Amino acid sequence: MALEHAILVSLAERSASGYELARRFDASIGNFWKASHQQIYKVLGRMETGGQVASELVEQDGRPDKKVYAITTSGRDELSRWVGTPTPAEALRSEFAVKLRALHLADPATLRADVGRRRVQHTEKLAYYEASRQKFYPDPAAVSPEALGGYLVLRGGMLAEQAGLDWCDEILGQLDTVDGAVR
Amino acid sequence: MALEHAILVSLAERSASGYELARRFDASIGNFWKASHQQIYKVLGRMETGGQVASELVEQDGRPDKKVYAITTSGRDELSRWVGTPTPAEALRSEFAVKLRALHLADPATLRADVGRRRVQHTEKLAYYEASRQKFYPDPAAVSPEALGGYLVLRGGMLAEQAGLDWCDEILGQLDTVDGAVR
DNA sequence: AGAACCATGTAATGCGTTACATGATTTC
DNA sequence: GAAATCATGTAACGCATTACATGGTTCT
């Protein structure tokens, strides 16, 4: 049940409405954990019943009212209990890998185009992470303890994207040599 | 609906019973796409109704009978259609990343132990992949076109594990410097 | 005038995990 | 004698996605 914990982490950083949380899950946190607004509203409801979060109705003019959720003491307790818990190994799951395995059934040009597209996506995401890093953590040696988590998560994303990029290059290289050998 | 395609890829390589497929999903294919036997049986049933696979009952002595599934022409068509389809970008989803972000709430020693455990897991998996690579693809420059997919998938796994390992090392390094600064 | 943003939800369906169920054979 | 392997499933539940629904405001 990790979405609940992701929400707790986000609300511990700053209280927010369901809508605002959904926006965050599109950006910062969402780079490593996606969630739709529908799902977030549902889980927030459950968590309020459970007492981990509390909401306050905020009226706005010219905009719909919103329910701003804050983490409660009980939620904070649950969160620190959870961070002290060992994290189980995460299985990697890749549709692309499954498809790669059946590459001999594919048209080489189509496949090359697909890998190229993927390569561009990795490059763009990497550039985006790098921009965030420069903006928020200009000096990696001087990151405050509170900000260290965010920095390290970003670094993890960068390493993952770089690995994906290297993989694409290796695939493209192999496709070329095979083609060359066939001709 | 990628499990169906993973099953088609596996059956295209060799016909198998649900049980045997489940074993494969524990090993080779399963390194990149996990599935339980319950799920596999369910999906196989659906796929047989849909005509992508066909089963034949094989009686055995001293062992339970088994239903051996084979890919059909229609299944093969669907498979080659699918491999020609662009693969959508896969969001990375990591409970560990969420937890990392809240690292300031954790006890440093506990956290260090958790990261160390994770580091060992990556190291072991990497060694396992490397052993597979040496066994099945001793000469990367001479991989046959049929085997290329399997080789490249393995390489992807190795790159991902290496990135995970590097991440752990970077986290441990940062935790040390922060501790050092505090004292 | 149309698109995008703000804001909150319900309903249906599908995907995945966990628990339960059975029973013979082989290996330690 | 106990544990693991072979073999196939059902049932319950939870997590996630997609579609549907509403309605005002701001930007282009």
- Residue A129 sits in the same domain as residue A163: yes
Average pLDDT over residues A36-64: 93
Name the nucleotide nearest B16; use CA and C1'. Answer: D7
- Residue A129 sits in the same domain as residue A54: no
Confidence of residue A178 (pLDDT cuts 50, 70, 90): confident
Which residues in chain B touch residue A100, judged by CB atoms under 8 angstroms apart? 149, 152-153, 156
Question: Would you say residue A182 has pLDDT above 60?
Answer: no
Percent of chain B exceeding pLDDT 90 equals 87
State whether A97 and B155 contact (CB < 8 Å): no
A174 in any annotated domain: yes
- Residue A100 sits in the same domain as residue A177: yes
- Residue A119 sits in the same domain as residue A71: no
In sequence order, the β-bridge partners of residue A54 are: A70
pLDDT in tens, A74-126: 999 999 999 999 999 998 999 999 999 999 999 999 999 999 999 999 999 99
Name the nucleotide nearest A65; use CA and C1'. Answer: C7
Q: Could you list the residue range(s) of the whole structural domain that residue A115 is in?
A: 95-181
- Residue A70 sits in the same domain as residue A109: no
Which residues in chain A touch residue B158, judged by CB atoms under 8 angstroms apart? none
- Residue A77 sits in the same domain as residue A115: no
> For position A175, what pLDDT does the model report?
94
CB A50 within 8 A of CB A59: no
> For position B180, what pLDDT does the model report?
59
Burial class (CB within 10 angstroms; exposed 0-12, middle 13-18, buried 19+) of B71: buried
pLDDT in tens, A137-160: 999 999 999 999 999 999 999 999
| Nearest one of A165, A157, A123, A164 to A30, comparing CA atoms | A157
Distance from the A39 Cα atom to the nearest Cα atom in chain B, whole angstroms: 16
Which nucleotides of chain C have an atom under 7 angstroms from any protein CB? 6-11, 14-20, 23-26
- Residue B130 sits in the same domain as residue B62: no
Which residues in chain B touch residue A174, judged by CB atoms under 8 angstroms apart? 143, 148, 151-152
Task: Tell me the CATH number at B41.
Answer: 1.10.10.10
B111 in any annotated domain: yes
- Residue B26 sits in the same domain as residue B103: no
Domains held by chain A: number: 2
- Count CA atoms within 13 Å of residue A147 on its CB side: 11
A61 in any annotated domain: yes
> For position A183, what pLDDT does the model report?
44
Confidence of residue B183 (pLDDT cuts 50, 70, 90): very low
A90 in any annotated domain: no
| Nearest one of A78, A24, A22, A25 to A50, comparing CA atoms | A78
B57 in any annotated domain: yes
Confidence of residue B64 (pLDDT cuts 50, 70, 90): confident
- How long a stretch of residues is chain B? 183
Confidence of residue B179 (pLDDT cuts 50, 70, 90): low
B90 in any annotated domain: no
CB A157 within 8 A of CB A32: yes
Average pLDDT over residues B170-181: 84
Domain boundary among B52, B84, B116: B84
| Nearest one of B50, B49, B57 to B18, comparing CA atoms | B57
Percent of chain A exceeding pLDDT 70 equals 97
The structure tokens 């299985």 sit at A91
Name the nucleotide nearest B21; use CA and C1'. Answer: D7
Confidence of residue A63 (pLDDT cuts 50, 70, 90): confident
Residue type, B29: I
* Dihedral sign, Cα of residue B28, residue B32, residue B37, residue B41: negative
- Residue A74 sits in the same domain as residue A118: no
Domain boundary among B34, B49, B84: B84
Domain boundary among A84, A109, A134: A84
Residue B60 or A42, more confident:
A42
Phi-psi region of A172 (alpha: psi -120 to 50; beta: other; left: phi over 0): alpha
User: How many Å from the CA of B1 to C1' of C15?
Assistant: 8
A11 alpha carbon, distance to own chain's centre: 16
* Dihedral sign, Cα of residue B93, residue B96, residue B99, residue B101: negative
- Residue A101 sits in the same domain as residue A75: no
Average pLDDT over residues B36-59: 95
pLDDT in tens, B78-127: 999 999 999 999 988 999 999 999 999 999 999 999 999 999 999 999 99
Q: Look up the pTM and report it.
A: 0.94
Nucleotide D5: closest residue by CA–C1'? B63
Question: Would you say residue B182 has pLDDT above 60?
Answer: no
CB A99 within 8 A of CB B80: no
- Residue B110 sits in the same domain as residue B56: no
Q: Give the torsion through C-alpha atoms of A103, A105, A107, A110, to 10 deg.
A: -50
B89 in any annotated domain: no
- Residue B154 sits in the same domain as residue B117: yes
A89 in any annotated domain: no
DSSP string, A37-99: HHHHHHHHHHHHHHTSEEEEEE--SSS--EEEEEE-HHHHHHHHHHHTSPPPPPPP--HHHHH
